[in-house]
Each structure stands twice: as C-alpha cells, then as structure tokens.
C-alpha cells in the first residue's frame, strides 16, 4: 500500500506539472476523457521512473555535491531536482513513454510543482502504513 501511495503521489505531481507548464508534456490527446485514457499508463510509468531515480540516483548526486550544497545554502538542491526531472525525461524517452521536458527552466519549475503537489497529497491523505 505504501508503494501505491508513493506512485500516485509522483503521478499526481507529474500530471499537475504537465497541466501547468507548456514545456512539460505527455504525447497523445490533449483534452477530455480521451486524454486520460491515452496517458494514464504513461503517467504511472514516468512516475515509477521518477520514483526510482529519486530513490537511487538522487541521494548519490546529493552526497557527492554536499560541499556545494552547503556553499550555496541549499539552492543547488533545486538544480539537482531539475536535473533528476531531465534525467527522468531522458529515461522515459528510452522506454518510449512519450514524456518530454523542454529545457532546464521548465524542469526547474516542474520539479518545484512536483514537490509541492507531493507534499499536498501527503498532507491531504495521511498514510500510516
């Protein structure tokens, strides 16, 4: 059950980021129920990739860049999160999931949106399991 909440949290963040930003999108239909039917599997796939990247790659990158994170008073964490979203888009392209992030600034804003939405979902649906 914890895995499902984790996956749905990332999926909600990705969906909101794709909805709010023109530079982040999923291929397929663009409105209505056809959009949901075309994209729900891809959103879950990209959420899984993002979750795995956040679990395994991001901690290593943060550890290796710890002195620079301290030097920049933590602002480098925003850049790392944007880089992880770009890396996720690259991996999603390899797996042909139709997820695209157009540039660093969209990745930066997208990573902020995903973080805020994830926090909001965890607050709205407290899960203890």
Angle between helices 76-94 and 104-124 (to 10 degrees): 100
Closest CA to 114 of 54, 36, 31: 54
* pLDDT the model gives residue 54: 96
pLDDT tens for each residue of 24-42: 999 987 777 777 788 899 9
Least confident of 1-15, 81-95, 102-116: 1-15
DSSP string, 26-66: ESS--SHHHHHHHHHHHHHHHHHHHHHIIIIIHHHHHHHTH
Q: Residue 99: helix, strand or coil by DSSP?
A: strand
pTM, two decimals, is: 0.93
Do residues 45 and 95 touch, judged by C-beta distance below 8 A? yes
Handedness of CA 111, 48, 61, 103 (dihedral sign): negative
């Amino acid at each position: 059950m914890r895995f499902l909440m984790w996956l749905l949290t990332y999926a909600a963040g990705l969906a909101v980021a794709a909805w709010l930003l023109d530079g982040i999108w999923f291929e397929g239909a663009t409105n209505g129920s056809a959009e949901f039917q075309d994209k729900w599997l891809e959103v879950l796939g990209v959420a899984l990739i993002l979750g795995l990247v956040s679990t395994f790659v991001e901690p290593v990158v943060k550890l290796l860049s710890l002195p620079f994170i301290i030097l920049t008073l933590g602002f480098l964490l925003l850049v790392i999160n944007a880089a992880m979203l770009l890396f996720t888009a690259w991996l999603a392209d390899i797996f042909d999931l139709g997820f695209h992030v157009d540039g660093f600034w969209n990745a930066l804003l997208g990573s902020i949106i995903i973080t805020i939405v994830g926090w909001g979902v965890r607050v709205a649906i407290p899960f203890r399991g």
